[in-house]
Amino acid sequence: MNNITGGNSMYREPIFLEPVFQERIWGGKKIKDEFHYDIPNDKTGEAWVISAHPHGPSVIRNGELAGKTLADAWENHGDLFNKDEKDNEYPLLVKILDANDDLSVQVHPSDDYARNIEKVPYGKTECWYVLSAEEDAELVLGHHAKTKEEFDKMVDNGEWDQLLRKVKVQVGDFFYVPSGTIHAIGKGIVILEIQQSSDITYRVYDYDRVGDDGQPRELHLDKAKEVTVIPHEDVHVEEVVNVYGDLQSRKLVENKYFTVHHWKLDGTTVMKLDVDFLQVSVINGNAEIVIEGKKFSVNKGTNFILPYGIDEYKIEGKAEFVVSHI
């Protein structure tokens, strides 16, 4: 991003976004039950709540660009994001996932592999914030193989119980999932996922399920074997807590792709926008954002971007947010 001072003249307010829904074989209806979204069916697995990805770009709800997509805004109004000429694709994607059944065990490639092999701009490093979880819910994060030979053999022999590393989860847990990490979200878990804007998935194991056509869903074992990190490396993420007025900010992860914070507000705070643009998802409660004296109400399920050029903003209320930026 460049460092031009000033900012955009189009939006001195949040850019509110409509979610895009994706049907999945493992999806359910908790996205409706928990966030009151108007989902198209009871197999809705994903709500892409902040997205400029071609497979489902979010539509802008307010302002001069109402009815346009976030992809349109990024392409034609780069000053909203302090976009540099070198920045081709919108970098991040934020989703809510409802695992009404176990997701397939999968792995994502790195940027280099994605560009060289798949000819797309981004691989996929991601992270998860657990919004709700049924009792004893668990996910797959990593594997137990020590060498590539051992990994390949266990995959070929279908030794999933021995290979896969299971982790119990509860509300508020956070997981960082770098590219090359074997993973799967388990049944009964709803997460907020922040990731690179990529839709490349290599499916490793799918519990022998069949798709709508009655055939087993495609696996991508050769590519998965090429990109999986062996042995699995647990990434230690050191959380940092800061307090700004009545807001507690907990930094969950910071890396070259994204920085993610959890905010807990009970009262009032005044914040500076010190990044190019800020992605905000309200995960609990109600609040008002005040910018240049103008108030905007937000509540659980609201997703928006604070664009470049907003200097200072006030937040009032009792709410929790997950915020992210590059």
Q: Residue 311 is part of a domain; what is its CATH number?
A: 2.60.120.10
Domain boundary pick from 201, 227, 253: 227
Q: Cα separation of 152 and 154, whole Å? A: 6
How many other CB atoms are there within 10 angstroms of residue 158's CB atom? 10
Question: Does residue 297 sit in the same domain as residue 217?
Answer: no
Same domain, 77 and 144: yes
Active site residues: 203
Please give the angle made by the CA atoms of 97, 52 and 61, to the nearest 5 degrees.
90
Helix (H) or strand (E) holding 111: helix 111-113
Residue type, 183: H
Query: For residues 198 and 120, is the Cβ–Cβ distance under 8 A?
Result: yes
212 and 96 both lie in a single domain: yes
pLDDT of residue 7: 62
List the Cα angle 101/99/183 in 5-degree steps.
Answer: 95
Strand partners, 18: 59
Claim to verify: residue 174 and residue 244 sit in the same structural domain: no
Residues 148 and 265 in one domain: no
Task: Give the integer Cα–Cα distance in Å for 180 and 202.
Answer: 10
d(Cα 250, Cα 277) in Å, to the nearest integer? Answer: 19
Q: Which residues contact 154 (CB under 8 A, 6 or more apart)?
A: 143, 145, 162, 163
CA 226, CA 202: separation in Å to the nearest integer? 10
Kindly state whether residues 203 and 105 are assigned to the same domain.
yes
Predicted TM-score (pTM) of the model is: 0.94
Question: Residue 263 falls within a domain, yes or no?
Answer: yes
Q: Are residues 277 and 161 in the same domain?
A: no
For residue 285, is it within any domain? Answer: yes
**Which of 227, 249, 267 is the C-terminal boundary of a domain?**
227
Whole-Å CA distances, 305 to 167, 185, 222, 271, 273: 32, 27, 39, 15, 11
Q: Which two tokens stand for residue 133?
A: 């979880």
From the CB of residue 90, how many other CB atoms can be counted at a distance below 10 Å?
22
Residues 215 and 174 reside in one and the same domain: yes
In this structure, are residues 210 and 161 in contact, taking their beta carbons and an 8 Å threshold? Answer: no
Asked if the structure places residue 211 within a domain, the reply is yes
> Tokens at residue 226, please?
């090429």
Are residues 186 and 271 both part of a single domain? no
pLDDT of residue 238: 86
Domains in the chain, number: 2
For residue 3, is it within any domain?
no
Number of Cβ within a 10 Å radius of residue 102: 20
Same domain, 133 and 252: no
Please indicate, yes or no, whether residues 128 and 211 belong to a single structural domain of this protein. yes
Residue 207 is assigned to a structural domain of this protein: yes
Residues 6+ apart with CB under 8 A from 76: none
Compute CA distances 54 → 71, 75, 112, 169, 201, whole Å: 8, 12, 20, 32, 16
pLDDT, residue 236, reads: 84
Residue 59 shares a structural domain with residue 158: yes
Strands (E), 75-233: 92-99, 105-107, 126-133, 138-143, 164-168, 174-177, 183-184, 189-196, 202-205
For residue 155, is it within any domain? yes
Looking at 189, 206, 227, the residue that finishes a domain is 227
HSE-up (13 A, CA, CB side) for residue 326: 19
Q: Residue 220 and residue 203: Cα distance in Å, rounded?
A: 5
CA distance 182 to 203: 10
Element (H, E) at 160: helix 160-163
In a domain, 246, yes or no: yes
Asked if 134 and 188 count as a contact pair (C-beta separation under 8 A), the reply is: yes
Q: Which amino acid does the sequence have at 174? A: F
Average pLDDT, consecutive stretches of 10 residues, N- to C-terminus, the chain (326 residues): 54 96 96 96 97 97 97 96 88 98 96 95 96 97 98 97 97 96 98 96 93 88 97 90 98 96 98 97 98 97 97 97 98
* Residue at 5 is within a domain: no
Structural domain including 305 reads 240-325
